[in-house]
Amino acid sequence: MITTVPVTLGTAGAGRARGYDVLVGEGASAELSRLVATGVPAARQVAVVTDAVVAAMPWFEGIRPGLPFEVHVVEPGERSKTMANVEALCRAFARGGLARSDAVVAVGGGVVSDLAGFAAATYHRGVPYCTVATTLLCQVDAAIGGKTGVNLPEGKNLVGAFWQPFGVLCDTELLETLPARERASGLGEVAKYTFLGEPDLPGLALDDQVARCVARKASLVAEDEREAGRRVLLNYGHTLAHALEASALGRAARGEGGGGDGLSHGEGSGGDGLSHGEAVAVGLVYAALLARRLGRIGDERVELHREVVERLGLSARLPAGLSGSGRRELLSYMARDKKAAHDLAFVLDGPSGVELVHGVSPEDALGALEELACT
C-alpha cells in the first residue's frame, strides 16, 4: 500500500496553493512518469542525476520518467557535494539543451538529492526537480522540505538554496538493497524524530516509520519553510554530527587521511568510519549531555537518549582515537554551524521539549565533548 503525505507550503502568486505530495510504500518509484507528467506538464525532456552505485543496480533500468532523458552519474559519497560538481552538472544540462520548463530527477540518497536539487535550483535560476529516494536517510529526512546544498572545506551544507521539489517518491522496496550500515544511517534520523513528537517510532513497521517521519517533517516545513523558527528543531543532534563530518572532510582535503568515499548510496560522511546517521546518533547523545550540563534535563532523560540510540542498533561513541586537539577542532566547526549567530548555538532538550539555545559557552560545549569521550 502506498501512503500519500502532503507537504503544504502556503500560497504563491494570485493566492495559488503551494505544496507537493510524498508517496511512501513498496513500488512508489513506478509513479515517476505520472509525477513528472502532472508536476511539469510543459516538460519535453528530463535530466536524471544519480550516483555510480545506484546506476549499477538492476532496478535502475526500470526508472522511467515518461519523457526522453539523459542520465548524469556522480561518484557516491559526501565528497561529491561540491561546487565543482554543481558546475559540472549545470554544464551537462546546458549541453543537453535542458530548458527551464524541463525537469531534473534525483535518484539516490541524501547526497544525490542535495546535489541535484541545488543544481536544479541554480540552473536557469531554477528548474523543477523531484526525488526518487533510495535510502532510508533520504526517505525520512533529506528529500523532504526543499533544503538543497553542497559542502565547503569550512563546513557542511554552507552553500545551498531552499528549492522545493514537485514531488518525492519513497519506494521502501528499494531499501531491501541497502547494506546494514546504510540502513543504520537512516535510523540515526529516525532516532531524532523520536524526540520531536514521535516516541513510538522504534516499534513500528518500516513503511510506518517512514510515513510518520515524513509527516512530522512536513508539519514543521509547513510551519516554517525557510528555517526562521521551529524548523530548526530538525537539526537536533546535527551540530556535532556535521562537525564530525566536516572535520573528516577537511582532513581529507589536507591529505591527512579519513574522508573516504562514504557508503554505497552516498549516505556516508566518509570520515572516521561514521555515516551521517551514525554521526547524528552520537550528536543526539552529546546534545543530551550538554543539556544536562546546562541544567535543562536530568539523568533519566540522558539515559533515554542512549536507550533510543541503542535500541535502533546505533552507537553513541565518538570515533576511536579522537584526541584532545581533535575535540577542540570539532568545537571550531560547531561555532561555524549555520544555526550560530556569532555564538555557539545548539538544539537542546529541556523542560519545554527540544528548542534552540543560543549563547552556549565553549567551556560547556567542550566539557560535554570530554564527557562523551569518556563514556
Q: Which of 231, 251, 265, 327 is catalytic?
A: 231
Q: Which of 251, 276, 305, 327 is catalytic?
A: 276
Q: Which of 72, 242, 338, 339 is catalytic?
A: 242
Q: Which of 31, 78, 225, 227 is catalytic?
A: 227
Q: Which of 72, 156, 217, 292 is catalytic?
A: 217
342 catalytic per annotation: no
CB 82 within 8 A of CB 36: no
CB 127 within 8 A of CB 119: no
**Full 3-state SS string of the chain:** CCEEEEEEEEECHHHCEEEEEEEEECCHHHHHHHHHHHHCCCCCCEEEEEEHHHHCCHHHHHCCCCCCEEEEEECCCHHHCCHHHHHHHHHHHHHCCCCCCCEEEEEECHHHHHHHHHHHHHHHHCCCEEEEECCHHHHHHHCCCCEEEEEECCEEEEEEEECCCCCEEEEHHHHHHCCHHHHHHHHHHHHHHHCCCCCCHHHCCHHHHHHHHHHHHHHHHHHCCCCCCHHHHHHCCHHHHHHHHHHHHHHHHCCCCCCCCCCCCCCEEEECCEEHHHHHHHHHHHHHHHHHHCCCCCHHHHHHHHHHHHHCCCCCCCCCCCCHHHHHHHHHHHHCCCCCCCCCCEEECCCCCCEEECCCCHHHHHHHHHHHHCC
305 catalytic per annotation: no
Q: Which of 72, 79, 81, 147 is catalytic?
A: 147
231 catalytic per annotation: yes
156 catalytic per annotation: no
Q: Which of 61, 125, 342, 363 is catalytic?
A: 125
189 catalytic per annotation: yes
238 catalytic per annotation: yes
Q: Which of 31, 78, 189, 267 is catalytic?
A: 189
157 catalytic per annotation: no
Identify any residues that bridge with 20 across adjacent strands, giving them in sequence order.
7
Exposure string of 172-198, with b = 16+ CB inside 10 Å and e = fewer, is bebbebbeebbbbbbbbbbbbbbbbeb
How many Å apart are CA 294 and CA 291, to the nearest integer?
Answer: 5
Kindly list the catalytic residues. Answer: 125, 147, 189, 217, 227, 231, 235, 238, 242, 276
